[in-house]
Amino acid sequence: MRVAIAGAGAVGRSIAAELLENGHEVLLIDVDPRAIKIDSVPRAEWLLADACEIASLDEAGLNNCHVVVASTGDDKVNLVVSLLAKTEYGVPRVVARINHPNNEWLFNESWGVDVAVSTPRLLSALVEEAVSVGDLVRLMTFRQGQANLVELTLADDAPVVGQRAGAVPWPVDSALVAILREGRVLVPSADDPLEAGDELLFVASQEVEQELAHLLSQH
C-alpha cells in the first residue's frame, strides 16, 4: 500500500516509521526545510513541497496513493489536503489529524475526510477508559459513515453479564466487533458469554450510543 503523509513533524515521522515497519510505501511531504530529516526515516520518500498546492500533489503522485494522511499541526492545512486528495485525486482513504477540538465539526465527508483523529479527544478517552467501568467511552470517529468506535467495560452487576453475545438485543446500527479479556482480543461469536470485566468494542452510530450505554449498564 502506498501512503502519502502531509506533515513531516514528529507525528508524521512516527506514522511513517510504523507504516514502513509494516511493509508499506511511504512518502513524507512538508513545506518547511527544517522538517526534512531524511536520516530520521531513511526508508521513506521525502518531498519538500506545499501539500496545499495541486502542482505539489501532482509531483507527489497522489493519484497512485491508496491512503493520504493529513498530519500537520495546522487544521486548515489538514482540511485543504484532505479535500484535494479526495476530490482531485480520488484517494480511497483520507485520514486527518484534528489539533483543536473546536474544529472537529469540520472534519467530515464534505471536506473529504474518511477518518478524523482528534488527539485531545483520544487522550481524554484513554484517560476515561482507564478509570471508567460501566460508562461508554468514545475512542474514535469515522466521519464518512457517521459512526464511532466506542468502548465499555462491563461492571460486575451489568445486566448482560452471563448472556451469550448473540442473545443480547443490540441496537440497530451497532456492532460488537471485539471483546478484550485478560489480555486477549476475542472476535465475538453468537455463543460467546459476556463476563464481568470484559472490555467491549463497538462500531455504532452516534444516535444509538445512549441506547447502547443503557443496555449495558442499566441496573
Can you name the CATH fold of 2-117? Rossmann fold (3.40.50)
> Looking at domain 132-217, does it have CATH number 3.40.50.300?
no
For residues 196 and 154, the answer to whether their CB atoms sit within 8 Å is yes
Output phi, psi for 5, to 5 deg. -120, 115
Residue with cell 445486566: 159
How is the chain split into domains, by residue range? 2-117, 132-217
Residue with cell 460501566: 134
- Predicted confidence pLDDT, tens digits, the chain (219 residues): 999 999 999 999 999 999 999 899 999 999 999 999 999 999 999 999 999 999 999 999 999 999 999 999 999 999 999 999 999 999 999 999 999 888 988 999 999 999 888 866 665 655 555 545 567 777 777 755 578 888 888 888 889 999 999 999 999 999 999 998 888 888 999 999 999 989 899 999 888 988 998 888 865
Sequence-separated (6 or more) residues with CB below 8 Å from residue 73:
7, 9, 11, 99
Single pTM value for the model: 0.64
